[in-house]
Amino acid sequence: MHHTAFFLGKGGVGKTTLSSAFALALARTGKKVLIASLDPAHNLGDALKTTLSGEPRIVEPNLEALEVDLAQWVDKYLDESRAQLKATYSYNLTLNLDSFFSILKYSPGTEEYAMLWAIEDIHCRLAPAYDFVVFDTPPTALSLRFLSLPAISGLWVAELTKLREKILQRRQTITRLNPESPVAASCVDKSDDKVYGKLGSIRARLSMLDALFSKQSFLSVIVNPDELSVREALRIKEELTRLGIPLSAVCVNKQGVSDAAWEQTPELKNLPQFIYNFSRDGITTRDDLTAIGAEPLIRYFLEEGKKK
Amino acid sequence: MPAQFGHMLKTALKIFTQINREKATGMLDFELKELENIFALLILGGFAGLPSPPSPIAMELMPYMERELTILLSRTDLSQDPLGVLMGMLEID
């Protein structure tokens, strides 16, 4: 059964509005729901008319929400690595560690990884207490990067594991032939080798996240009735297909915002479509979110979830 | 006296066996060091402009790679004369 829903799309199409309307309507059916914002420019709290933090806060009965603090996750991750390095390495190697870590904070990929570990934390630590978890994602570029990380990193880890196995095999042979060799003092067994063990644990975490994205989640792309957001949605669909992650539905938001002629592109037409009219009076209260009408999408989400 | 001679013979045989063991594993040892060097290069390659796994993966593995890093550094010293190292290992004068 699907327990997790992701809302993707171009910046400004209404991901936060639709995901919070979806979570709110789902919670009001009696299900316990957690909604988490992964967007570094958080506005989930604004949409739900409340103040949020990195830990779940009660919005109303059955609905809790949080905004992932990426900077805090990056710091936590680097602090853990720094502590491990200091504990293992000799003093002279760790002399300039602090300046090295302050550079790593801005290294490409660190933010995406922090996001991945934040999703893992929500999925493993928080999700069991809820019926459903809804993710409001950042705009396309960042979302696609973190969705593709488990698959890409998985390839690297698989290759590194193969090479490590080869190294351990050679160490075993040398130790067998020459027990007094200095190699005998290093780890020769897979069970003793910490690098092999660490590669295994990274692979297990990445596989779990890969399965979460590709098999256990309901991914919905949001478009507006305009060419730019639809083109970006097509790119999202292509990229997700390449990664083996199926797209479940298309939400057309702000229908009627313009009088210009518009027709859904054939590539997205084969997916279930959910239309949301442009709200001319704006969304000023939390109850306005329920007036959007997320019920048909919720019915489809629950039906699809049962099939899984 | 015969006991002392026996002990000397035993020691000589032990040394002889060990020399042969060292010779037998010399090539494997060289290959192992190369593999460990490649492993360290793959993990840390990003810092030198080589293709490498995402840096957070490298960061998670680094605490357990002191041996590989030492080999990487010693290999850097030997990289000035790779042919000399190879010839030395193959015992070619």
ipTM of this model? Answer: 0.77
Chain A within 8 Å of B50 (Cβ-Cβ)?
Answer: no
Instruction: Specify the pLDDT at position B51.
Output: 78
DSSP B49-69: TS--S-HHHHHHHGGG-HHHH
Query: How many contacts, defined by CB atoms under 8 Å, are there between A and B?
Result: 95
Instruction: Specify the pLDDT at position A81.
Output: 77
Q: How far is A152 from chain B (nearest CA, A)?
A: 9
Per-residue pLDDT of chain A (308 residues), as tens digits, is 568 999 999 998 999 999 999 999 999 999 999 999 998 888 899 889 899 999 999 999 999 999 999 888 888 888 887 777 777 766 555 556 666 666 666 777 778 888 888 999 999 999 999 999 999 999 888 899 889 999 889 999 999 999 999 999 999 999 988 888 888 888 888 888 999 999 999 999 999 999 999 999 999 999 998 889 899 999 999 999 999 999 999 999 988 777 777 778 888 888 999 988 887 777 778 888 888 888 999 999 998 887 76
Between B86 and A253, the higher pLDDT residue: A253
Cα separation, B42 vs B50, whole angstroms: 8
DSSP A72-107: HHHHHHHHHHHHHHHHHS-GGGGTTHHHHHHHHTTS
Q: Mind listing the pLDDT tens digit for each residue in B19-43?
A: 888 877 888 888 898 899 889 888 8
Instruction: Specify the pLDDT at position A162.
Output: 95
Are residues A23 and A63 in contact, defined by beta-carbon separation less than 8 angstroms? yes
Instruction: Specify the pLDDT at position A90.
Output: 61
| Facing residue for A181 by CB, picked from B29, B36, B65 | B29
* Domain A4-307 listed as CATH 3.40.50.300: yes
| Facing residue for B32 by CB, picked from A110, A160, A170 | A170
Instruction: Specify the pLDDT at position A2.
Output: 66
- Asked if the Cβ–Cβ distance from A93 to B66 is below 8 Å, we say yes
Instruction: Specify the pLDDT at position A168.
Output: 94
Instruction: Specify the pLDDT at position A94.
Output: 53
Q: How far is B48 from chain A (nearest CA, A)?
A: 14
Distance of CA A252 to the CA centre of its chain: 23
Q: How far is B63 from chain A (nearest CA, A)?
A: 5
Q: For A37, left (φ over 0), alpha (ψ -120 to 50), or beta? A: beta
Cα separation, A146 vs A141, whole angstroms: 9
- Asked if the Cβ–Cβ distance from A170 to B35 is below 8 Å, we say yes
Instruction: Specify the pLDDT at position A204.
Output: 94
| Facing residue for B65 by CB, picked from A90, A163, A195 | A195
Chain A within 8 Å of B56 (Cβ-Cβ)?
Answer: yes
Q: Hey, which residues does A251 pair with through a beta bridge?
A: A222, A274
Residue-range domain boundaries for chain A: 4-307
Q: Is A69 a catalytic residue?
A: no
Instruction: Specify the pLDDT at position B72.
Output: 82
| Facing residue for A181 by CB, picked from B25, B43, B57 | B25
Q: What would you measure as the largest C-alpha separation in chain A, in angstroms?
A: 83
Instruction: Specify the pLDDT at position B1.
Output: 67
Chain A within 8 Å of B38 (Cβ-Cβ)?
Answer: yes
Chain B within 8 Å of A149 (Cβ-Cβ)?
Answer: yes
- Asked if the Cβ–Cβ distance from A88 to B66 is below 8 Å, we say yes
Cα separation, A137 vs B44, whole angstroms: 31
Within 8 A of A109 by CB-CB distance, chain B residues are 54-56
pTM reported for the whole predicted model: 0.83
Chain A within 8 Å of B40 (Cβ-Cβ)?
Answer: no
**Which tokens belong to B39?**
């492993």
Half-sphere exposure of A140 (CA within 13 A, CB side): 21
Cα separation, A37 vs A39, whole angstroms: 6
Neighbours of A196 (CB within 10 A): 20
